[in-house]
Structure 1
Amino acid sequence: MPLTFLSAEHDAHVSPTEAPLPHGQQDHWRRPYRPGPWRVGGAAIVLLLAAYLLISAVIIAAAGPPTGASATAVCAAVAIALALRMLRVGIWVSPRGLRRVGLLRTQTLRWREVASVRTVQQPVRWLGLPRSVQGQALEVHPRKGEPWRALVTDHSADFLRRSDAFEQAADVLEAWAAEHQVEGGRRR
């Protein structure tokens, strides 16, 4: 079974034989980079915790009241949902726009609403923690409203100690923005 949320699809490097079919899914959201080892490792630890909770639920169900077992099973289900959401966190693109998937919230911006996407040097949060370090961040500036906080940084869970992967992802995201802003300009 392919895990599409883990795949990195780079449209800039697609050969004509791999191009999507005209009748295929045109609005397929894809992440232009692979999740980093810190993100995958964190999700694996949460799944390990969920496995222990499920084993505990079985033991509690066999030895005690069903309310304790059901509460433990619900906690395990929440942990599994959290781990899956952790794997989906990131930036996703499609011909329709740019989507930032967070742990609790998702924001979508259509390409015609994007003024610019660019990489800047600035203080960034290390693995999302309050500690800031100097690094690179990919920023989106919409045509109206407040700028989004940094989309991805070179010190995030996806790119920590993977500067080449960050630069490649930033280039792909900037290329998507440039291509679709030009197309959006032609449509008007």
Structure 2
Amino acid sequence: MPLPFLTADGVSDADDDGDEVLAHADHDRWRRPYRPGPWRVAISAVLLLLSAFMLLATMIVAFAGGGWGGAGACLVAALAVLGSALQMLRVGVWVSRTGLRRVGFFVTRTIAWNEVTEIRTVQQPVRWLGLPRTVQGQALTVSARGVAEPPVLLTDHNADFLTRAEAFDRAADTVEAWAEEYRPVPA
């Protein structure tokens, strides 16, 4: 596997063909225009640790002769926690050449760029870490054809951007730049 960061000029000698398209250069692939925040990663890490202990408990129950029913219940619970941790890492806004995708914990919604009429940052009450408590903050909203209320894409108080205002501004600017590049110009 070539490691271009180990060479002086940043180009690896092992990969001279140049046919490989890097993930950040391929605009047809869905990608998140920002990194997951520390709160999201910490919550997922705790859930992964919990699932590891639950899988260990499954093994103990199975080998101790506690019955396959108990081991099966522990395994199902451990896999549910593991799936929750992985889904927690996927939650957020994803963009590609085809449109904008808001991945939630239970629901994913995709909006094509030709349906988007406006993306803007507004001051409004936002949910703190996704909990029912609201605080005054910034939200990136998208207006689309056929949608009565503009859905909130990002907030500066969610698990990705809490206490990281500059990261929220960069992410909002990046999503707006994608919209400018791929949204059709109105005639």
Where do 1:58-97 residues align within 5 Å? 58-63=59-64, 64-97=66-99
Per-residue CA shift, 1:42-88, capped at 9, x if unaligned? Answer: 00111111011101101100111011001101111111111000000
Per-residue CA shift, 1:112-161, capped at 9, x if unaligned? Answer: 00000000011111101111111000000002222342110000000000
Which secondary structure state, in structure 2, belongs to the residue aligned with residue 170 of structure 1? Answer: helix
Work out whether 1:137 is the aligned partner of 2:148. no
- Aligned partner of 1:101 in structure 2 is 103
Partners of 1:140 and 1:147 within 8 A in 2: no
Distance in structure 1 (CA, Å) of the matches to 2:67 and 2:182 = 58
- Aligned partner of 1:56 in structure 2 is 57
The alignment covers a number of residue pairs equal to: 167
Partners of 2:143 and 2:151 within 8 A in 1: no
- Aligned partner of 2:119 in structure 1 is 117
Gaps of 5+ in 2: 2-17
> Comparing both structures, which one devotes a greater share of its residues to helix?
1
Which secondary structure state, in structure 2, belongs to the residue aligned with residue 179 of structure 1? Answer: helix
Gaps of 5+ in 1: 2-16
Distance in structure 1 (CA, Å) of the matches to 2:35 and 2:55 = 29
- Aligned partner of 2:31 in structure 1 is 30
Partners of 2:117 and 2:144 within 8 A in 1: yes
Q: Which has the larger radius of gyration?
A: 2
Tell me the TM-score normalised to structure 1 length.
0.83
Q: Amino acid of the residue matched to residue 56 of structure 2?
A: I
Tell me the TM-score normalised to structure 2 length.
0.84
